[in-house]
Amino acid sequence: MHHAHAPRRRALAARTAVLALLATALVAGALSAPAGAATTQPPRRIVTGWLPYWSSSTSTASVTANADLFTDVSPFWYTAQLSGTTSSIAQLVSSSSKATYLPQLKAAGVRVLPTITDGMGAHGMASTLASTTRRATFVNQIVSLVTSNGYDGIDLDFEGFAFNDGSSTWSTTRPNWVAFVRLLGTALHAQGKQLSIASPYLSSPTTGYWVYDWAGIGPYIDRLRIMTYDYHVASPGPIAPMSWVDSVARFAVTQVPSGKVQIGVASYGRDWYTGTSYSGGVVSSCPTTGLPGTSAQDVADLKAQMSWSRVTHTYTAAGAPSYLATWTGPAFDIPGVTVTSPPKATFDTTAQEKTFSSQVRFAGRANRKITVTATAASGATTLAVSSTSGISKGWVVSGTGIAAGTRVASVDGTGKTITLTAATTAAVNGAVSFTGLASAVCTISRTGWYDDASAAAARARLVGTYHLGGIAQWTIGGEDQSQWAALRSYARTIAPTPTVVRVATTSPTTYGQDARIVVTATSEGVPVESATTTLLVAHGATWRVADRGVTSTSGTVSFTRNVTSATKFKVIVASNFERKAGGAAGTLLVRSQVSVTPSYSAVTPGGSVLVIARAVPKHLGQRAVLQVLVKGRWRSLTATRADQWGRAIFRVSPTVRHVTTPYRVAFYGVPGIVGAYGYFGVHVSDHVS
């Protein structure tokens, strides 16, 4: 920021200026740099997010490396707990961890609003909020936590009453929740702290997780972080379909001022099991053991991979490349295991996410049971069977007349006979079963989705579309690192421009009269129209709102203020999405109001006149000089100091007959008061009535 410095004036010129009583001064102090003063426009701060305690180092490093994009962050450091009816806040991390990372975040210029999660259990939070006394106690605990640790505010991630208590409780919980947020927000704001609320989605006041009542809590919060992810959890599909995220954002800005809304962005993905097909084997099942000749370890590895392939896996966006590489790595280098379709991620332009599919073939053996009709005499070792198809040596034989543990010794497919390892115990004439291992082949299919850098950038564009406060990412530290360049590039395109504010005043203003303050606001050389402008005046060390106005089409707004003393003021032009707030400061100077009362307006030669001059505002000791006009020039006659009533008393004795002699009394300026003159004349005449 560059400021022009006024040249230093000589003392004589300064004294002359004090007595230049009829001049009109301009008092202005622009607080914003003029257009063109800045070089590269910094990006808009559009990112916030949560820092899990299990990745503190990685998460903090992401923030500090990209601090120019962050509005604030929320480390996952606390959880609310309940013992009986007594609430408390437990710390999830060590004090040394906090002592390590909090200074790093603050040094980066990022506000810290730690998160408190709901660890009270089902109905615990709802019962706490329902009690006026317990609610107030809980609020005091939160405010104390914030102020005692020097945090910039708090973030509440209370999900228990939404996901655990059941929607039948919401109509009761909702008003208690709003009352709690109102109480907490008011208490935090009184301390200069902020309140952030994490919330699942709403799509209307009565659909979605409407217990959070966005419209109800909106006036009392500073951030509404909407968890627009986990659209698909149990079943395969996009983590956060773009159309859904857009619709949630579009609704949110009708409930809460758009600048408070931070739309959720996932930095993770899931890979789901989608089905199993069977082909290429004798048995229509997956293998239960390996191919002939495989080791016990190979069999164990095959079973482990089949089990792994049938469950849902979650991974970070940063870890997605490594996860995908798993499918072509040594984990699948097992006899009988073939990745027939390795995953290859592509960007889905509809969902605006990465997606992939994969297939793994598992070949081995599984038990097969074949039942045929058989006959044999008691004590025989050969069975005559209706079919030998599929039956192999070593299979277990069972049925009436078959000894326990009997196996197939040999198979004669031509003669349809099977030789047994043990003689029959009775005549056989009916169903006999043969059980043994046969080839089994199955193919397991999977589908995955995740939000990469392109997905994050796509959702960030909603910030510009709906003038949102930003994006809120779960988690910081798990993100695709290439997102930062994309986010920064976009954030520069929507960076707010500076608002340049200049003020002109009719200062100094004679005591008791109205001073006029004219405010002119521009941004990039264009007048700022319809901007709320606040006039504040100093009262000791505090500033109080004196007036408000709205700028015209020319970017101007005027204020008037009755001046009875020197008054420091400042004006603030409110920001909007396109530009920053701007301000200017100045001082309204008061000029003495001088009245002069001579005891007579005419005297006889040799006579004198008592002159009482009064200046307001009164200032004990203010220098006053009596002057007379001689040949067009004012000459000082005598000087004195004002008394406690602001009076200066003189006596004049004019000598020139038959004329009115012009006089004036000059009250010199003192700190906060500009000097002024009071004029009078005395006529000398031989005859005074």
Q: Name the band, by pLDDT with cuts 50, 70 and 90, for residue 1.
A: very low
Beta bridge partners of 500: 522
**In this model, does residue 40 exceed pLDDT 70?**
yes
Structural tokens at position 532: 């709320």
Domain positions in the chain: 23-38+497-590, 47-267+451-493, 271-450, 593-684
CA distance 671 to 553: 38
With beta carbons less than 8 A apart as the criterion, state whether 562 and 512 touch.
Answer: yes
Looking at mean pLDDT, say which of 1-15, 29-43, 314-328 comes out highest.
314-328
Helix (H) or strand (E) holding 130: helix 124-130
Mean pLDDT of 144-172: 98
Confidence of residue 329 (pLDDT cuts 50, 70, 90): confident
As a whole number of angstroms, the distance between CA 377 and CA 375 comes to 7
Residue 604 has pLDDT above 50, yes or no: yes
- 689 — pLDDT class (breaks 50, 70, 90): low
Topology, domain 23-38+497-590? Immunoglobulin-like (2.60.40)
Per-residue pLDDT, averaged over 97-107, amounts to 97
Per DSSP, the residues of 179-220 read HHHHHHHHHHHHTT-EEEEEE--EEETTEESGGG-HHHHGGG
Percent of the chain exceeding pLDDT 90 equals 90
Does residue 388 carry a pLDDT above 50?
yes
pLDDT at 331: 87
488: left (phi over 0), alpha (psi -120 to 50) or beta: alpha
Cβ–Cβ under 8 Å, residues 450 and 320: yes
Residue 83 is encoded by which pair of tokens? Answer: 């013992």
Q: Which of 4-18, 279-293, 473-487 has the lowest mean pLDDT?
A: 4-18
Quote the DSSP letter at residue 4: P
Residue 352 has pLDDT above 90, yes or no: yes
What pLDDT was estimated at residue 688? 66
404-409 long-range CB contacts below 8 Å, 24 or more apart?
408/434, 408/436, 409/381
**Distance of alpha carbon 9 from alpha carbon 28, whole angstroms:** 18
Which bin fits 621, alpha (ψ -120 to 50), beta or left (φ > 0)? left
Report the mean per-residue pLDDT for the chain.
93
Which phi-psi region, left, alpha or beta, contains residue 322 (left: φ > 0; alpha: ψ -120 to 50)?
Answer: alpha
Res. 34 pLDDT band, cuts 50 70 90? very low
Q: Among candidates 566, 571, 573, which has minimal Cα distance to 545?
A: 571
Dihedral sign from CA coordinates of 400, 402, 403, 407: negative
Alpha helices in 520-561 (DSSP H): none
Distance CA 258, CA 249 (A): 9
- pLDDT value at residue 4: 31
DSSP 452-497: -HHHHHHHHHHHHHHT-SEEEEE-TTSS-TTHHHHHHHHHHHTPPB
**Fold: same for 23-38+497-590 and 593-684:** yes
Vertex 65, ends 109 and 221: CA angle to 5°?
Answer: 45
Separation between Cα atoms, residue 444 and residue 265, nearest integer Å:
30
Q: Are 358 and 383 in contact (CB under 8 A)?
A: no
- Strongest mean pLDDT among 13-22, 310-319, 321-330: 310-319
State whether residue 140 is helix, strand or coil: helix
**Tens digits of residue pLDDT in 188-238:** 999 999 999 999 999 999 999 999 999 999 999 999 999 999 999 999 999
DSSP for 84-116, please give it: TTEEEEEESS-HHHHHHHHHHHHHTT-EE--EE
> Are 401 and 374 spatial neighbours (Cβ–Cβ below 8 Å)?
no
Q: Which fold has domain 593-684?
A: Immunoglobulin-like (2.60.40)
Reported as a single tens digit per residue, the pLDDT across 239-289 is 999 999 999 999 999 999 999 999 999 999 999 999 999 998 899 999 999
According to the model, what pLDDT value does residue 231 have? 98
CA–CA distance, 377 with 126 (Å, rounded to integer): 78
Buried b (16+ CB within 10 A) or exposed e, 242-272: bebbbebbebbbebbeebbbbbbbbbbbbbb
CA 43 vs. chain centroid, Å, equals 15
Determine how β-strand 153-157 pairs with β-strand 194-199. parallel
CATH superfamily of the domain spanning 47-267+451-493: Glycosidases (3.20.20.80)
What is the per-residue burial (b if ≥16 Cβ within 10 Å, else e) of 164-199? bbeeebbeebbebbbbbbbbbbebbeeeebbbbbbb
Residues paired with residue 115 on neighbouring β-strands, in sequence order: 76, 155
Cα–Cα distance between 360 and 336 in angstroms, integer?
10
Report whether pLDDT(37) > 90: no
> Is the per-residue pLDDT at 35 higher than 60?
no
- Reported as a single tens digit per residue, the pLDDT across 457-482 is 999 999 999 999 999 999 999 999 99
Q: What is the CA radius of gyration of the chain?
A: 44
Query: Helices (DSSP H) in 253-375: which residue ranges?
Result: 296-308, 320-326
CA distance 536 to 545: 4
The token duo for 664 is 């004036």
Residues of the chain above pLDDT 70, percent:
94
Q: Which helix (H) or strand (E) holds 14?
A: helix 11-18
**How many whole angstroms separate alpha carbon 50 and alpha carbon 57?**
13
Question: Which residue in this structure is represented by tokens 């307006």?
Answer: 601
Identify the CA nearest to 571 among candidates 607, 596, 546.
546
Tokens standing for 177?
């929740």
For 309-453, strand residue ranges (E) read 313-316, 337-341, 346-348, 353-376, 382-385, 396-399, 408-412, 417-420, 428-450
